[in-house]
Structure 1
Amino acid sequence: MARAKDGNIRQVCIMGLGYIGLPTACIFATKGLKVIGVDIRHDVVNILSKGDTHIYEPDLDILVKAAIGSKKLKVSTEPQASDAFMICVPTPFKDGKKPDLSYVKKCMESIIPHLEKGNLIVLESTSPIMTTENLVAGMVSKAGFVPGEDIYIAYCPERVLPGNIFKELVENDRVIGGINEKSARLAQKLYSTVVQGKIYLADAKTAEMVKLVENAYRDVNIAFANEIAGIADKFGIDVWRVIEIANRHPRVNILSPGAGVGGHCIAVDPWFIVDSAPGQSALIKTARNVNDKRAEDVFKKVIAAAASEKKSRSGKVKVACFGLAYKADVDDLRESPALKIAKKLAARKDIELLVVEPNVEKCAGLELTTKEKALIECDIAVFLVNHSEFKEISSENLIGIKVIDVCGLMRGIR
């Protein structure tokens, strides 16, 4: 099999078939490349090999079925010799908010036996600065190859919004950081087969910092919104009205507050900066703490409302939580503040909890119900996530119910 040394990439091996890796595999397959999709979870590989999907993303089921059916996408638990290898695995944090790069390391360990001169390795996983050079290139060097000459190595982070992944994979601008210019150029050639947006070239550590800064920027601005929401609560002010009017100022653009910050990126990645440069990241650290604390503040607000409700009735107060996902209209519960709030409420003996999450079929430790049943039975309705389905609720459905609107859903309810 010809390798990337002739400048042509014919087969790509994508490590990790989750929310980023699987759509990426489908996109490359639709462009005619042969794709080997790798995931260590046997159940996931079994599902995908039948043309089915294990996660939700609009149009993903259609593209997986087509890619598997055309044999452009094959799935396995083990990598195979390819022209290029792309790493799309989680990079969570461990105790002490330290980056956990064990998944990336395990990927590299499994890739190395299949490497040949001229291959390209691209790390897509959000990573601390210097990961591409120190971990990826370091392991390649220890395997007896010369990074940047025998094996080309680059970093190219994803920039997609769940729920709109396929459009953004193609249309969004991308940054590619190579350990040298040859690596960056070869990675650019690969991504140019699918990316219509502009591709910016840099060195690897610059590209790594770009990704971290993008997410930290959003986290800091969300923290500001969540902090003013807490201030508004203290004085009994409608924070949504405050933001609406303040944003009429031509140089003000306050984001929407919520139950906190969740997901696999914004709630995690800023800690990579704090860990790498603690003396230079005081604001980023403070924002992370503000957003982490927000879920506890919401929980306390619900408990206070339940205590007030309890005074006028006997028995448990029925609280309905609307939404568990980390953001609207997705099935992703990773690092979700709404899920944390619901689980803490479920542990209370003075509360009977009703949970509504239309985007998942089940959730460990929680019993799900329909929004119709929850609205009929609850004393307190807590809107945690702004799912489209909840916008169908009318003010008539909420008569006699105490409402705690964390996500601004009530602004659209008539």
Structure 2
Amino acid sequence: MVLKKAMNKDLTITILGMGYIGLPTGIAFARAGFTVYGFDVNKNVIETLKSGKIHIVEPDLQEAYEDALRSERLIPTDKLEKSDVYIIAVPTPFKKDENQKIADLKYVESASKMVGEILEENNLVILESTVPPMTTKLMTDILENTSGISREKFMSVHCPERVLPGKILHELEHNDRIIGAERYEAAEVAKTIYDAMVKEGTCFITDDITAEMCKLVENTFRDVNIAFANELSVICDKLNIDVFELIKLANKHPRVNILTPGAGVGGHCLAVDPWFIVEKFPNEANVIREARLINDFKPRFIVNKIDEVLKGNKELTVGVLGLSYKPDIDDLRESPAMEIAEILRDKGYNTIACEPNVKEKTASGFELYSLEEIIEKANYLVLTQGHTEFKNKLVKLRDKNIYDCIGLLK
């Protein structure tokens, strides 16, 4: 019955969480022809969406959202309605009161309980949040216990997002997807739904634990490779050679492709996901842990180098160019650039910042200036991010005293 409805696109989908993943996912399913309810517990988010505006910075998403809203296929709501399909796309941060990096699954658990309270037989529940292994089984347990419905009479799967901020909507509709479930028939139904949304990619079916690990392994692979580049930058500093030139020359080898070092690694994926593996396998995940520590250390290394250049002169004003964790977005989560700014401030420097993608006048206690203003006000600049606005004005930046974390000025 559900499979037939999925094939005919006459089922309803509710997405829990209208953030960086949930909102674009809702738009993509609405564009595919499904009726989608976008639910969030944050009423300000829902009010903003109802007014026709999105609350995140993502290229082309505003126009796509307006189209989805006009079609009446995407309906923002702060009331969780009964649906055929529920997609949980909520945050999975670290627990704040732990010394170790431990996943905080309270949002997943809360969303699962909310769905469990209105769950009906033959419903499909999809966990899109990136989670440690075995979390999909935990979700299924909560759904079963809360609803009183046997797990054989509803369907639960894990289908992790794998998108790049700045290209989220395109990648949702073009990247391959991994769908994992305890029961193959549940994965088949989910595949039918995602097949309708994914235009060029392929949806692959596996078990739920493999699907969970697949997302973690993808991001961990990238994190380890970045750690190698960042470690090289520290070694090259000791040797007093240019790490960017070294990597450029090394990459002339036909089987070598070293990444470019930067300010560290941030965001809700690469800076977080590897720890989910370490959490579950502390004695085995040695390379993964070390890579994380290397990338986490990079902001401190950069501040120490700046301290050497400025000779600890706290009367100087230091301007940080970029606070987001990657170019041309407003996302500050786990941002190494933000950490650099905070460490400089804690050391006593008058620290100001320029983040052109953040609309507010301040961010985490830092007053935000335009690029022109910060060039004028700062005695020393720290270039942490390759925003388009910065790339377009490199001539002005080259005339300033500047620490280039990313090799952009080269």
Query: Does the 8 Å contact 1:227/1:290 carry over to 2?
Result: yes
Output one character per residue of 1:129-182: Cα deviation in whole Å (capped at 9) or x when no partner.
11111x1111122232222x3111110011100000111101101110011111
Query: Which moves more between the two structures, 361-370 or 37-46?
Result: 361-370
SS at match of 2:402: strand
In structure 1, which of residues 159, 162, 176 is the aligned counterpart of residue 162 of structure 2?
Answer: 159
> 1:271 and 1:26 mapped to 2: Cα distance?
30
Q: Is the CA contact 1:140–1:146 (under 8 Å) kept in the aligned structure 2? A: no
Equivalence for 1:78 = 79
- 1:278 equivalent among 279, 282, 292: 282
SS at match of 2:265: coil
Which position in structure 2 is the counterpart of 1:233?
237
Q: Deviations over 1:310-362 (max 9, x none)?
A: 4xxxx81122211000011111000001011112222343x332311111023
Distance 2:409 2:78 in 1: 46
Shift of 1:16: 0.4
1:396 Cα deviation after fit: 5.3
User: 1:7: how far off?
Assistant: 4.4
> Which residue is equivalent to 1:4?
2
CA contact (8 A) 2:121 2:153 kept: yes
Partner of 2:207: 203
Distance in structure 1 (CA, Å) of the matches to 2:110 and 2:300? 35
Distance 1:395 1:237 in 2: 24
Q: Aligned to 1:382, what secondary structure does the other structure show?
A: strand
Q: Is the 8 A contact 1:176 1:184 kept in 2?
A: yes
What SS does structure 2 have at the residue aligned with 1:17?
coil
CA distance in 1, matches of 2:3, 2:24: 27
Please state if 1:110 is matched with 2:111. no
Alignment of 1:119-134 (within 5 A): 119-133=123-137
| 1:325/1:338 contact within 8 Å kept | yes
Structure 1 pair 110–325 and aligned structure 2 pair: CA distance change class (3 A) = same
TM-score under structure 2 length normalisation: 0.94
Change (3 A) 1:301 1:81: same
CA distance in 2, matches of 1:4, 1:105: 25
Which segment is superposed worse, 374-383 or 240-249?
374-383
- Residue 273 (structure 2) aligned to one of 269, 272, 295: 269
Partner of 1:376: 376
**Partner residue of 1:35?**
36
Mapped pair 1:356 → 2:354: yes
Change (3 A) 1:316 1:67: same
Query: How far apart are the structure 1 equivalents of 2:290 and 2:119?
Result: 43
CA distance in 2 between partners of 1:229 and 1:151 (Å): 51
Identity across matched positions, percent: 43
Query: What's the RMSD between the two structures over aligned residues?
Result: 1.5
3-state DSSP of counterpart to 1:283: helix
- Counterpart of 1:39, as a letter, is D
Task: Give me the whole-angstrom Cα distance separating, in 1, the residues matched to 2:347 and 2:213.
Answer: 42
Q: Give me the TM-score of the superposition, normalised by structure 1.
A: 0.93
Q: Counterpart of 1:372 in 2: which secondary structure?
A: helix
**Counterpart in the other structure of 2:310:** 306
Gaps of 5+ in 2: none
1:83-107 deviations in whole A, cap 9, x for unaligned?
A: 1000111111112211111000000
Distance between the aligned counterparts of 2:65 and 2:288, measured in 1? Answer: 38
Would you say the 8 A contact 1:5–1:118 is kept in 2? no
Q: Distance in 2 between matches of 1:354 and 1:222?
A: 27
8 Å CA contact retained: 2:3, 2:192:
no
* Equivalent residue letter for 2:340: I
Asked if the contact 2:116–2:144 (Cα under 8 Å) also holds between the matched residues in 1, the reply is no
* SS of equivalent residue, structure 1 residue 12: strand
Report the counterpart of residue 293 of structure 1 in structure 2: 297
| Residue equivalent to 1:26 | 27
CA distance in 2 between partners of 1:217 and 1:150 (Å)? 37
Match of 1:181 in 2: 184
Q: State the Cα deviation string for residues 12-54 of structure 1 (Å, max 9, x = none).
A: 0001000000000011111221111111101001000111111
Q: Residues 130 and 273 of structure 2 are in contact (CA less than 8 Å); yes or no, is this contact kept in structure 1?
A: yes
Q: What is the total number of aligned residue pairs between the two structures?
A: 400
Q: Which amino acid aligns with 1:317?
A: L
Structure-1 residue corresponding to 2:344: 345
Tell me the residue number matched to 2:405.
406
1:409 deviates by: 1.1
